[in-house]
Structure 1
């Protein structure tokens, strides 16, 4: 309302034709009214625009803050996962070292056991071979004695048969055979 009054007053000012235009005071100039109208328009539009603009800025600030919080949470989670992975890696390295040490100990134990078993087997086989050799020797001696006895008996029989004839020869031969059998045993 004030604006329309000022505009009307500015147009109603007498302008003389042919004379140079009179200078109006600055507040009655057209440009002043346009400037004043623009300022009033901005002032009226500022209040609703302010809410929208500040709301948009607040929403953007909240979104950025949420993104920063999310980034901080992800950074903390990544740090925790990195720490956990490092701990698992160290545990795996320790476990691997323990497994290798245990395997070396087991290999040494198995080697010592195998050497001991081999030594026992060799000793047992040597004993068996010695026993077999002893048995073979005893058997060979027994066979030689048996053959010697058989040869001696046959020789004695032949001699006795040639030297003795008749029933007395049979008794001597039987007695000799009995004595040879007893001495061979």
Structure 2
């Protein structure tokens, strides 16, 4: 920078284009050039370019540290994102397993309920058939008992109409003799 500044001062000055005596205080070009050179000298005396360079370097270092920190944060965020994606996949796999187990359990429970219902229906049918059989047997017994009662009554009436008193007495005596023979 120290080499560029004097070359710039010598080549790009408007003082070279002016006419008349250049080193006169009445020449505005000379005064402007002189003021500019004094300004540049003051800047160099107080080491302003060095201070500016230090500030720019410090700012560049700050920006670089911010960039490094941002990169580290980005890497950390990507790692967290990958971890959350992995956990999400694991949770989804667990949820799928739970749903599959629930479906399997529901199917097994439905099959068991179906089997229990079939057993219950079979038992109830057997019980109903037993009740029907018992009712039929009871009805047959009742009909038989009624038929016996009616037959005995009818036989008694027939015998009573056809039998005389002497025949009845003879039958009673024969019955008593049979009972006496069986008892002794």
Name the TM-score, length of structure 2 as normaliser: 0.63
State the match for 1:53 in structure 2: 52
Which portions of structure 1, spanning 4 or more consecutive aligned residues, are displaced by more than 6 angstroms? 31-34
Deviations 1:103-130, CA, capped at 9 Å, x for gaps: 2321321232122112201210221122
Q: Which runs of 5+ in 1 are unaligned?
A: 1-20, 176-185
State the match for 1:109 in structure 2: 108
Number of equivalenced pairs: 147
Name the TM-score, length of structure 1 as normaliser: 0.63
Summarize the alignment of residues 63-78 of structure 1 with structure 2, pairs less than 5 Å apart. Answer: 63-78=62-77
State the match for 2:121 in structure 1: 122
Q: Cα–Cα, structure 1 residues 34 and 155, in superposed 2: closer, same or farther, change >3 Å?
A: closer
- Choose between structure 1 and 2 for higher RCO, CA contacts under 8 A separated by at least 6 residues: 1
Matches of 2:121 and 2:130 in 1, distance apart?
Answer: 14
Deviations 1:30-73, CA, capped at 9 Å, x for gaps: 58998677546424423342354234313421331232123212
Q: Which runs of 5+ in 2 are unaligned?
A: 1-19, 176-184
Segment drifting more, 112-121 vs 96-105: 96-105
Summarize the alignment of residues 1-185 of structure 1 with structure 2, pairs less than 5 Å apart. Answer: 29=23, 38-39=36-37, 41-46=39-44, 47-164=46-163, 168=168
Matches of 1:34 and 1:137 in 2, distance apart?
Answer: 141
Deviations 1:107-165, CA, capped at 9 Å, x for gaps: 32123212211220121022112211210111111111110121112112212322335
